[in-house]
Chains A and B, each alone.
Chain A
Amino acid sequence: MLTKRIIPCLDIKNGRTVKGVNFVNLIDAGDPVVLAKQYAELGADELVFLDISATLEGRKTMREMVLKVAEQVNIPFTVGGGISSIEDVDVLLKCGADKVSINSSAIKRPQLVNELAEKFGSQCVVVAIDAKQIEGEWFVHLAGGTISTELNLFEWAKEVEARGAGEILFTSMNNDGTKAGFANEALAKLSTELNIPIIASGGAGTVQHFIDTFTIGKSDAALAASVFHFGEIPILELKKELKENNIQVRL
């Protein structure tokens, strides 16, 4: 049986790991390559690296980091942040990334999803969606959650699936950084209405939150950062508890 995945996310700025709390106040949490290797050994199923560098120099550093991660890490990883063209993706895949995640660039030019799926295959195209629930309705945001759009989360998710996305990484901006649990109602709706895997992101604080997102939220994978980076939830213990709760995991 296909297992549920636990995915530590490493936000990278100029080659270093950082984690935003509600997308501001960045705290340093280590060297990405060392962290990645450690996570692979500790039982992480997959890794996500999000490049939040804003400069060309930062992007170059990111490529070097991807190459080093691919060289040393024996589990799959996704790279996202600032990817806006076929060329960007080509370079990252050639450096050894398994998947790329696109966000703002897909909103600005949805056809990019089709082009990437056609050229590289759906399996490596993750569409990341940041959304915020405002008066009951979920609105998609771009540029790291700083700009709101008129797009509805569910309509946008269905559109990118139709365009060839292989997976959705949904971050609830209402939950992100709160450590109060994932946005399970929206996640369950996404998982039911779409036929591609859904990664839950934003709100992980306790083991119970992971149990809930796999059961109530019907998520296929759960992503978190600070609870892993600062050792608040050891991955192995988390997976053991998930298994005790009849959730299939790789142990």
Chain B
Amino acid sequence: MKLVIIDYGAGNIKSIQFAFKRLGVDAVLSNNIDEIKAADKVIFPGVGEASSAMKMLRESRLDTVIPTLKQPVLGICLGMQLMCKHSEEGNTDGLGIFNVDVKKFSKAVKVPQMGWNVIYDLKSDLFTGIKDKEFMYLVHSFYAENCAEAIATTDYEIEYASALQKDNFYGVQFHPEKSGVEGSRILENFLNL
């Protein structure tokens, strides 16, 4: 199993790497296009601001590579948001893999949403063994709207897509690497896809 975490300068990838290490898998950090293409599974992380992250992706040409990948790809947090059509954060276009836009939470709730909330309406093999309304750790100010590609939903001010899937592309808004044993189970499920 060759697992690559795309390293394009955005975010805390150490904890993702450690989470897989706890599952007995050594993930390789890479921004090398050939290495990413050759991997069995790819993790697309991201923490930070959307438009600057997209800029970094464009600079390394990863913006054209990621949408063409054929193996299972898992976007986490901002990674998931960048796989969408467009984000209100920095008013940037995303990779357009998921046919949905990313919006900002209104001031009716505290922003960022920070902490543990439940995911429900689970619709993917990614969630094998995960019970409906399981708690996951989330930290975000922007959200993907609920849509046909949603495979999990969460409620914070509104119902939004907390996980998305299209073909071999998966995205989760929450941090499975920080969501205890249940989060770890989701990463294991991804490895087993």
Contact flag A220-B115 (CB < 8 Å), given A95-B14, A98-B12: yes
Residue of B nearest to A124 (CB): B47
C-alpha spacing A5/B139, complex, angstroms: 13
Which of the segments B55-63, B64-72, B143-151, B177-185 contacts the partner chain?
B177-185
Q: How many B residues face the partner with a CB closer than 8 A?
A: 35
Which of the segments A9-17, A71-79, A223-231 contacts the partner chain?
A71-79
Q: How many A residues face the partner with a CB closer than 8 A?
A: 36
A70 at interface, CB cutoff 8 A: yes
Contact flag A76-B48 (CB < 8 Å), given A123-B140, A123-B141, A197-B114: no
Which of the segments B15-23, B80-88, B92-100 contacts the partner chain?
B15-23
Contact at B115–A120, with CB atoms within 8 Å? no
Residue of A nearest to B181 (CB): A74
Closest Cβ of chain A: how far from B32's Cβ, in Å? 20
Which of the segments B36-44, B105-113, B165-173 contacts the partner chain?
B105-113
Residue of B nearest to A121 (CB): B48
Contact at B112–A76, with CB atoms within 8 Å? no
- Residues 117-138 of A at the B interface (beta carbon under 8 Å): 118-124
C-alpha spacing A26/B15, complex, angstroms: 31
C-alpha spacing A98/B178, complex, angstroms: 9
- Chain B CB within 10 A, most for which of A70, A118, A123, A195: A123
Q: Which residues of B contact A76 (CB under 8 A)?
A: 137, 139, 175, 178
Contact at A74–B135, with CB atoms within 8 Å? no
Contact flag A121-B18 (CB < 8 Å), given A196-B110, A197-B115: no
B117 at interface, CB cutoff 8 A: yes
Q: Which residues of A contact B19 (CB under 8 A)?
A: 74
Contact flag A74-B183 (CB < 8 Å), given A195-B107, A196-B111: yes
Residue of A nearest to B155 (CB): A1
Contact at A120–B114, with CB atoms within 8 Å? no
Q: Which residues of A contact B110 (CB under 8 A)?
A: 195-197, 220
Closest Cβ of chain B: how far from A114's Cβ, in Å? 13
Q: Which residues of A contact B140 (CB under 8 A)?
A: 123
Contact at B114–A123, with CB atoms within 8 Å? yes
Residue of A nearest to B139 (CB): A123
- Chain A CB within 10 A, most for which of B48, B118, B155, B183: B48
Closest Cβ of chain A: how far from B126's Cβ, in Å? 18
A176 at interface, CB cutoff 8 A: no
Residues of B near any A CB (own CB < 8 A)? 12, 14-15, 18-19, 21-22, 47-49, 107, 110-118, 135, 137, 139-141, 155-156, 175, 177-181, 183-184
What are 26 sample pairs from A and B whose C-beta atoms fall under 8 A apart?
A2-B116, A5-B115, A45-B115, A67-B14, A71-B18, A74-B19, A74-B177, A74-B178, A75-B137, A75-B179, A76-B137, A76-B178, A93-B14, A96-B15, A97-B12, A98-B139, A98-B178, A118-B49, A121-B49, A122-B112, A122-B141, A166-B112, A166-B114, A195-B107, A220-B110, A250-B116
7 additional A-B pairs beyond A3-B115, A45-B115, A123-B141, beta carbons within 8 Å, are: A3-B117, A5-B116, A70-B15, A74-B19, A124-B12, A166-B114, A220-B114
Residues of A near any B CB (own CB < 8 A)? 1-5, 40, 45-46, 67, 70-72, 74-76, 93-98, 118-124, 166-167, 195-197, 220-221, 250
